[in-house]
Amino acid sequence: MTPTFDLEAPLLLMAVTDPWTRTKVRRALQTAGYRLVETASAAAVLANLRQTRPALILLDCALADQDGFQTCGQLRSLIEVANLPILLLTERTDLRGAQRAFDAGATDSMVKPISGRQLCFRVKTLLQLQQAVTDLQNAQSRIRQLRRTDHLTTLANSSRFRTHLNRFLASAPTNTTLTLLYLDLDRFKRINDTLGHLTGDRVLIQIAQRIQGALASAIAEGLLPCALEECCCARFGGDEFAVMLPGIDPQQVAPQLAHQLLSCLTQPFAVDGYEVVMTASLGISHFPGDTRDPDTLLKNAATAAYHAKQQGGNNSQIFQPNLLGGSAGRLRMENELRKALHNGELALYFQPQVALKDHRLFGAEALLRWHHPRLGTLLPGSFLPIAMESGLIVDIDEWVWKQACRQLADWQKQGWGDLHLSVNLSGQLYWQSRCIESLLCILRSSGADPCRLEIELTENTLMRRDRVTLDFLGHFKALGAQIAIDDFGTGFSSLGYLKDFPVDTLKIDRSFIRGLDEEGDPCPIIDAILAMGKSMGLRVVCEGIENKFQLAALKELGCPFGQGFYLGRPMPDALFTRHWHLHKASV
């Protein structure tokens, strides 16, 4: 009587040549309820893999056409078999037979003649282990998905959006365009305050659905030349959303899409028995027209959205440089910056610099912050352009230099003689010969060890004034100070240029690091700079390390030093001091 099998039972692919062993294996496995596909050759195994999806492969060490160990190795090279359990039947009773089976890629092995009961136990165990591995992989995949997804709207979250944006810009071919829309809901707080947060959450869910619906309609109409997933719609914060639109006309299509998005939101929302009417303010920025930097691109779109909100909301604004502040606004900022120098509003933060091989903390970079009484803590990018235009940059550079030297001297008094400090200078300061003596005087009077001081200058800054630059750097090199080229790889770098300047350190720009993530490929530019630095005896530091994947990739490339948020964020001197104490204690 032909046995009947449960169609849901695991399907096993068996390749056994010896008739006696084959019969015994068949009876044991069929009695246990497994479904079988029987073959006797390696060629038949490979052919059946294309037609069936076995849960396990059972191989004899001696097949009709070739060695079973060789077949096992061939199977392991196939993608569909990479994680599939393979049970290999061997003839040797010693450990060498089992070792050879494992070397060939087998999951487990048994020595012939086999016991039917033991065979069924081995197969059951292997299938259970495989299911456990599959469940674990699914759970990890789900966790990764949750980390990148906004739990309320199921859109991408801000972290996933930034990763997608960084990856797109890092690999964008020539002539690629990208429009970024930043949408900020108008007066959304009143819904949470009057109707409650649960109602507000339901409104946000519907808003996310409408945004995706509007994008899908634009794709169907041919307005968007991309798939919906390429738009990468994300929720930023409580009531803010962002959308990427690759390959569209920034002047014609972008405003049209912005209008459609705003229009779809003005239709009333029916939530919990209420009819809610919403509007939004929308900002638009473009790559590469506005900027090539992803963070700046996002900031520009948010700035334009803020300007749209100042215009009364329910409108869109394309980013223009003057949105960062008109004439009156820039004049006000300049006056406030001038006062900040005397009111103690400027501060230095310190970002750790780490040896990647053993995570040893060897230094820090001094970074400027402005604790603005009205706007909060500001990064240099928001006020240094004004300082450059107004000439205040010379006074700011001098202040930074004075504070950095004082801080380094203080660390030395605490016994931290092995800690070095990198200081950024804009380049305006040393173009004025009177300032060179001033900087040297500050350094001498501070008591700081010049050998522990590193001056960071950008490539473009160095290329502006060759003779003056060489004289300036020569004075500090004579004292033992070190010279670093910041943002290396983005300016006019060449071997001849490096030989002209007494450079000690190359800092690889963060734009090259962004592509090194979970799915990114190694960057040949980083590899080339590392090789160049090694051949010229220069220290190489990678900036902008923001996750473990970038760190792992840089270690694999052999990068010796790095800094970035993943290794340590910029912090005030007191916090950095505590960080240093903890590091020394751990070492």
Residues 487, 570: one domain?
yes
User: How far is residue 446 CA from its own chain's centroid?
Assistant: 40
Residues 338, 312: one domain?
no
Q: Hey, what are 499's tokens?
A: 């030989």
Predicted pLDDT at 143: 65
* Domain's final residue, options 303, 321, 339: 321
CA-closest candidate to residue 61, choices 40, 91, 24, 104:
91
Neighbours of 131 (CB within 10 A): 12
Q: Give dist(CA 480, CA 430) in Å, integer.
A: 18
Q: Residue 67: which CATH number?
A: 3.40.50.2300
Q: Cα(first)–Cα(last) distance of the chain, in Å?
A: 73
Q: What are phi and psi of 512, to 5 degrees?
A: -80, -20
* Pairing of β 346-355 and β 360-372: antiparallel
CA-closest candidate to residue 210, choices 153, 292, 284:
153
Residues 61, 87: one domain?
yes
SS3 423: strand
Residues 139, 239: one domain?
no
Q: Give the total number of structural domains in the chain.
A: 3
Q: Residue 570: which CATH number?
A: 3.20.20.450
Write out the DSSP string of 188-224: THHHHHHH-HHHHHHHHHHHHHHHHHHHHHHHHTTSS
Residues 259, 352: one domain?
no
Predicted pLDDT at 515: 67
Q: Evaluate whether residue 3 is within a structural domain.
A: no
Q: Evaluate whether residue 79 is within a structural domain.
A: yes
Q: Give dist(CA 539, CA 245) in Å, integer.
A: 40
* Domain's final residue, options 290, 321, 352: 321
Residues 294, 357: one domain?
no
Q: Evaluate whether residue 270 is within a structural domain.
A: yes
Predicted pLDDT at 467: 64
| Contact yes or no for 15/45 (Cβ under 8 A) | yes
Q: Residue 309: which CATH number?
A: 3.30.70.270
Residues 134, 240: one domain?
no
Residues 134, 226: one domain?
no
Predicted pLDDT at 204: 93
List the chain pLDDT tens, one digit each, 587 residues: 444 556 678 889 998 888 888 899 999 999 999 999 898 888 888 888 878 889 899 998 888 888 888 888 888 888 777 788 999 898 876 677 778 888 888 888 888 888 889 999 999 999 998 888 888 777 776 666 666 688 889 898 888 888 889 888 888 777 788 899 999 998 888 788 778 888 889 999 999 999 999 999 988 888 888 777 778 899 987 889 999 988 887 777 888 889 889 988 888 888 888 788 888 999 999 888 878 888 888 888 888 888 888 677 888 888 876 665 554 556 677 888 888 988 899 999 999 999 998 888 889 999 999 998 877 788 887 788 778 777 788 889 889 999 999 999 999 888 887 888 999 887 665 555 556 777 788 888 988 999 999 988 876 566 555 566 677 777 778 888 898 888 776 554 445 556 667 788 999 887 778 767 655 556 777 888 898 888 888 999 999 888 888 898 899 889 999 999 889 889 998 888 887 777 665 65
Residues 312, 334: one domain?
no
Q: Evaluate whether residue 152 is within a structural domain.
A: no
Domain with 179 in it = 158-321
Q: According to DSSP H, which parts of 311-432 are helical?
A: 327-343, 384-390, 392-413
* Pairing of β 360-372 and β 420-424: parallel
Residues 270, 167: one domain?
yes
* Domain's final residue, options 98, 116, 146: 146
Which pTM was predicted? 0.48
Q: Hey, what are 370's tokens?
A: 């402005």
Neighbouring residues of 253: CB distance < 8 A, sequence distance ≥ 6:
179, 223, 224
Q: Hey, what are 498's tokens?
A: 């490096």
Residues 46, 94: one domain?
yes
Q: Evaluate whether residue 151 is within a structural domain.
A: no
Q: Evaluate whether residue 165 is within a structural domain.
A: yes
| Contact yes or no for 451/480 (Cβ under 8 A) | yes
Q: Give dist(CA 505, CA 533) in Å, integer.
A: 8
Q: Evaluate whether residue 2 is within a structural domain.
A: no
Residues 524, 569: one domain?
yes
Q: Evaluate whether residue 210 is within a structural domain.
A: yes
